[in-house]
Amino acid sequence: MNILNRVGKQGFLYVGRIFIFMGLFSFFSSPGFGKPFRLEKIPDQGKNFKCRTCHVSRFGGKEFNPFGNDYKRLGLQAGDNYTEELGALDSDGDGFSNKQEFDAKTNPGNPKSKPE
Ligand SMILES: [Ca+2]
């Protein structure tokens, strides 16, 4: 007896929907999709720009902004920590150090966001 005979077409569709829901749930709850596992490491804990502090997309992902690239280069090398060296850099080249940007609540990875 195959499963379609045992649960009927409606039951089969119901089970299919459950699997689709479980798949979507695991995708959206996976690291890299809005899971801010590194935000607590940076001075503002990501309160101002969340994932876009380091990433190009607000959902995170593999594309990093200039500050994210500097964090990868220096922060990860320093045991996955924000360092004074990172704070002294002007990652996005807008004329303000990353520390100045965090103090002013502007984005150190976006040159259009800078202290007034
Ligand atoms: Ca900036």
From the CA of 95, how far away is ligand 1's center (Å)?
8
From the CA of 33, how far away is ligand 1's center (Å)?
24
From the CA of 44, how far away is ligand 1's center (Å)?
14
In a domain, residue 3? The reply is: yes
From the CA of 28, how far away is ligand 1's center (Å)?
29
Mean per-residue pLDDT, 13-18: 86
Cα–Cα distance measured from residue 28 to residue 108, given in angstroms and rounded to the nearest whole number: 27
Long-range CB pairs of 26-32, under 8 A, 24+ apart, other chains included: 32/60, 32/61, 32/62
In a domain, residue 89? The reply is: yes
Q: Do 63 and 9 share a structural domain?
A: no
How many domains are contained in the chain?
2
Q: Which domain holds residue 7?
A: 1-30
From the CA of 5, how far away is ligand 1's center (Å)?
62
From the CA of 46, how far away is ligand 1's center (Å)?
14
Q: Do 85 and 55 share a structural domain?
A: yes
Q: Do 17 and 64 share a structural domain?
A: no
pLDDT in tens, 78-116: 999 999 999 999 999 999 999 999 999 999 999 999 999
The pTM of the full predicted model, rounded to 2 decimals, is 0.70
Q: Do 53 and 8 share a structural domain?
A: no
In a domain, residue 115? The reply is: no
What is Dmax (Cα atoms) for the chain?
73
From the CA of 94, how far away is ligand 1's center (Å)?
6
pLDDT at 34: 46
In a domain, residue 116? The reply is: no
**Are residues 106 and 113 in contact, defined by beta-carbon separation less than 8 angstroms?**
yes
* Residue 60 CA neighbour count, 13 Å, CB half: 15
From the CA of 84, how far away is ligand 1's center (Å)?
17
